[in-house]
Every structure is written in structure tokens, then in C-alpha cells.
């Protein structure tokens, strides 16, 4: 059973103004940034906030993810040759990842960076925002337990 950690966070009142959007839409399925989302951005800031990379905006149902092969790209995930779409309500918050937090399998992780759900209005896919962590959630991923 695959275990995960998903952190819940709140966008700081001034954080939307501080969110960075240094990227371009390459095609329908790809966003390319001028930096590496996975290792080119610190996970935390000096004021105690955590950086959240927004992969899926609040209310959206398209499943996008930062590429592990090229950390400067966010791709719309494909399954069975089709773009992945959640076939129920859209995401209740801005879903994404925390940069520089991947834990290798050899150390007990799953090789992925920590997931994060940022409560608030929809933010632009690909943006990076400073947020405050308010809790964690336990979830299942494909029958696998996730501690988020």
C-alpha cells in the first residue's frame, strides 16, 4: 500500500500578490517554466511560509503534475492514452506540491515531493505561492493509504 503525506495550507492574505508566474503554456498539455520546480525553488521561506507549486487550481478537474524527468515542466497527465480528468467535483482547493521535498524510496519515501492543498480561490496553474501549513490529511491513492 502506497503511503503519502498531503499538507493542508492557507494562502496568506498578501501571498497572491507574491505568487510567481514565471512560465509559458507550450501546448494544450504542457507548461514550461524558466526554473526547475522540483529543485530550483526552496521549500521554505525565512518568514515560516512554505512554497506551494500549484498544479491543479481550485474547482478544476484536470490532473496535471510536475514532470520528474524535467522539473521545469508541468504536464497534463495521461492514462490509457487520454488526458486524466477527475469525473466528479473539481478539486476543493489549489492542489500541488512542495519543492525540494522528495524523499527517495531507499529512505522510506515514494520518490515524490510532498503534496499540498492550498485553501482559497483558484490560483494560476504553474504559479508558486508562499503559504502557511495548517494540518495534514490521510488519504488513499489507487487503494494505497496516503498520509496527507
Which range is least confidently modeled, 16-20, 71-75, 120-124? 16-20
Question: Over 80: is that where the pLDDT of 50 sits?
Answer: yes
**Domain boundaries of the chain, sorted by first residue:** 23-145
Residue 115 near residue 7, CB atoms below 8 Å = yes
Distance CA 138, CA 41 (A): 26
Distance CA 116, CA 9 (A): 7
Q: What is the pLDDT of residues 53-73, one digit of tens each?
A: 999 999 999 999 999 999 999
For residues 110 and 47, the model is more confident at 47
Q: Per CATH, which fold does 23-145 belong to?
A: Inorganic Pyrophosphatase (3.90.80)
Question: Over 70: is that where the pLDDT of 14 sits?
Answer: no
Mean per-residue pLDDT, 70-84: 95
Question: Over 70: is that where the pLDDT of 46 sits?
Answer: yes
Distance CA 110, CA 94 (A): 22
Distance CA 22, CA 141 (A): 30
Pick from 7-11, 50-54, 135-139 the range whose average pLDDT is largest. Answer: 50-54
Mean per-residue pLDDT, 22-38: 91
Question: Over 80: is that where the pLDDT of 4 sits?
Answer: no
The values of phi and psi at residue 16, to 5°, are -65, -30
3-state secondary structure of 107: helix
Tell me the pTM: 0.83
Distance CA 90, CA 80 (A): 21
Write down the pLDDT at residue 94.
94
Amino acid at each position: 500500500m502506497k503511503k503519502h503525506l498531503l499538507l493542508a495550507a492557507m494562502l496568506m492574505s498578501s501571498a497572491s500578490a507574491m505568487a510567481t508566474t514565471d512560465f509559458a503554456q507550450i501546448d494544450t498539455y504542457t507548461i514550461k517554466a524558466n526554473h526547475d520546480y522540483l529543485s530550483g525553488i526552496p521549500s521554505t521561506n525565512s518568514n515560516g511560509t512554505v512554497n506551494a507549486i500549484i498544479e491543479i487550481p481550485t474547482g478544476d478537474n484536470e490532473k496535471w503534475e510536475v514532470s520528474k524527468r524535467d522539473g521545469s515542466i508541468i504536464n497534463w497527465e495521461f492514462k490509457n492514452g487520454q488526458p486524466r480528468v477527475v469525473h466528479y467535483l473539481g478539486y476543493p482547493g489549489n492542489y500541488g506540491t512542495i519543492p525540494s521535498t522528495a524523499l527517495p524510496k531507499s529512505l522510506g519515501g515514494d520518490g515524490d515531493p510532498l503534496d499540498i492543498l492550498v485553501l482559497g480561490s483558484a490560483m494560476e496553474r504553474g504559479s508558486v505561492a508562499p503559504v502557511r501549513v495548517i494540518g495534514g490529511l490521510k488519504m488513499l491513492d489507487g487503494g494505497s493509504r496516503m498520509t496527507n
